[in-house]
């Protein structure tokens, strides 16, 4: 079975600075997808970024980028130029096979607090 | 599009009661799922469906039933509520084609079992 580990329970970051959220995963499958979600205090789950295991380039979406290191089985999220609205819980998740986006395994999350 | 809708938003049950959490999506998505989120934790998959009439178990299926009679609806039934089922429940759907990798989540249902 696959497993996702987020080792940072909480982080402070200064406004306008970049922050890296760690995520490691464990699977013996060659085909998988990696996701990051944001959960603000209001509770909704917001999709941020996706990386497929066969994608050669790191995914980017605006201020979000995914640092994908396949050999190390890591998929760290980088948020550039942090904003106060980035304060939230962030979850790393994965799915086996590219088309199984409805079966996600989540990590325990990292809480980010952006300081003005 | 309303996206993924869930009702109710909040619910309090007594131990042993049964109820159905409703989930609907208007995006014509084939794939739908139910997750639960316990305090301070990530989401865990309860059940999922890959199309009308097709469902399967996820990581934590015990105590829950699902059915998928239409593409739009995917209700989750609690058969006999227990305090351990106190959680926030999220329904999600994902489309096919180029958008298969993005799940759309509903706003969640906060359930308390006394």
- CA B87 to chain CA mean position, Å: 12
Q: Where are the beta strands (DSSP E) in chain B?
A: 4-7, 10-13, 19-25, 31-37, 43-51, 54-57, 64-66, 76-78, 87-94, 103-105, 109-113
Report pLDDT for A111.
97
B33 vs A contacts (CB less than 8 Å): 102-104
pLDDT per residue rounded down to tens, chain B (114 residues): 779 999 999 999 999 999 999 999 998 888 899 999 998 889 999 999 988 999 999 999 999 999 999 999 999 999 999 999 999 999 999 876 555 567 889 999 999 999
Express each pLDDT in A98-110 by its tens digit: 555 568 899 999 9
Express each pLDDT in A6-60 by its tens digit: 999 999 999 999 999 999 999 988 888 899 999 999 999 999 999 988 888 999 9
Question: How many angstroms separate the CA atoms of B15 and B13, rounded?
Answer: 7
Mind giving me the DSSP string for A27-92?
-S-S-EEEEEEEE-TT---EEEEEEETT-SS--EETTEEEEEETTTTEEEEEE-S--GGG-EEEEE
Strand A110-115 versus strand A10-14 pairing type = parallel
Residue A113's H or E segment, with its range, is strand A110-115
Min Cα separation A71/chain B (Å)? 22
Question: How many angstroms separate the CA atoms of A41 and A85, rounded?
Answer: 11
Q: Which of residues 1-20 of B touch A (CB under 8 A)?
A: none
Question: How many angstroms separate the CA atoms of B88 and B41, rounded?
Answer: 11
Min Cα separation B25/chain A (Å)? 14
Question: How many angstroms separate the CA atoms of B91 and B3, rounded?
Answer: 11
Min Cα separation A48/chain B (Å)? 9
* B72 interfaces chain A, CB cutoff of 8 Å: no
Q: How open is the CA angle B100-A33-A67, to the nearest 5 degrees?
A: 120
* Mutate: best of B40, B56, B101, B109, partner A, most A CBs <10 A: B101
- Using alpha carbons, list the distances in angstroms from residue A105 to A6, A37, A76: 12, 12, 16
Residue A10's H or E segment, with its range, is strand A10-14
């Amino acid at each position: 079975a696959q497993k996702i580990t987020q080792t940072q329970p909480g982080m402070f970051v200064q406004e306008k600075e970049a922050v890296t959220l760690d995520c490691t995963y464990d699977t013996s499958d060659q085909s998988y997808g990696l996701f990051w979600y944001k959960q603000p205090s209001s509770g909704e789950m917001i999709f941020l970024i996706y990386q497929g295991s066969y994608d050669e380039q790191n995914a980017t979406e605006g201020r979000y980028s995914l640092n994908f290191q396949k050999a190390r089985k890591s998929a760290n999220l980088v948020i550039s130029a942090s904003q106060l609205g980035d304060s939230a819980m962030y979850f790393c998740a994965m799915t086996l096979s590219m088309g199984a986006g409805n079966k996600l395994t989540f990590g325990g999350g990292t809480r980010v607090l952006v300081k003005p | 599009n309303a996206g993924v809708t869930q009702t109710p938003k909040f619910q309090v049950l007594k131990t042993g009661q049964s109820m159905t959490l409703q989930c609907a999506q208007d995006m014509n998505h084939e794939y739908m799922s139910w997750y639960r989120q316990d305090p301070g934790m990530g989401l865990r998959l309860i059940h999922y469906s890959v199309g009308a009439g097709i469902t399967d178990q996820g990581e934590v299926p015990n105590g829950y039933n699902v059915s998928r009679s239409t593409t739009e609806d995917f209700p989750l039934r609690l058969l006999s509520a227990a305090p351990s089922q106190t959680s926030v429940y999220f329904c999600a759907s994902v489309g096919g084609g180029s958008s298969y990798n993005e799940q759309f989540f509903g706003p969640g249902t906060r359930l308390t079992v006394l």
